[in-house]
Amino acid sequence: MRTLQSTQNILVHNVVTDNNDIDFGFEQFSAASLYWCLCPNANLYIGQKLPDINLLFNRNLQLVVGTDSLASNTQLSLISEINSIRSHFPNIPDADILQWVTINGAKALQIDAQLGSFEPGKTPGLTLISESWNETVRIM
């Protein structure tokens, strides 16, 4: 088996990804270098279909969340992306989704030494999210 170790690989959209695709990805690349990016609002905007997030979650993949672009989305809001995931996949724990939009995203972009978590030496931004996930206030 050939694996590439030196780069991060961010696989975007994943609307038709199945177990065979996941296995193929692991045959081609190291598991540590693979990040699976979810852009649910763009998926709904473009093709009215979502990835099988339950499959990706149950396979314990390194998931991240993106907003794609205004060419394929009505807004660039991670809160809106989170709400889409929560409404279509209510079984996914909020703590996991928060990890996808924070530390996993920072790791995928290789900026986790500076961002993505609250640790000494890092400069994370902080946003207060209401319990309903519908209101946000940027603090930092």
User: How far is C-alpha 121 from the geometric centre of its chain's CA atoms?
Assistant: 24
| CA dihedral over 121, 127, 128, 134, signed as positive or negative | negative
CATH 3.60.15.10 fits 9-112, yes or no: no
Q: Where are the domains of the chain?
A: 9-112
DSSP string, 101-126: HTHHHHHHTT-TTTSSS--TT-----
Is the pTM higher than 0.75? The answer reads yes
Q: What is the pLDDT along the chain (140 residues), one digit of tens a residue?
A: 444 455 889 999 999 999 999 999 999 999 999 999 999 999 999 999 999 999 999 999 999 999 988 888 888 889 899 999 999 999 999 999 999 999 999 999 999 999 898 888 888 776 766 666 665 544 44
d(CA 122, CA 111): 10
Count CB-CB contacts under 10 A for residue 66.
Answer: 22
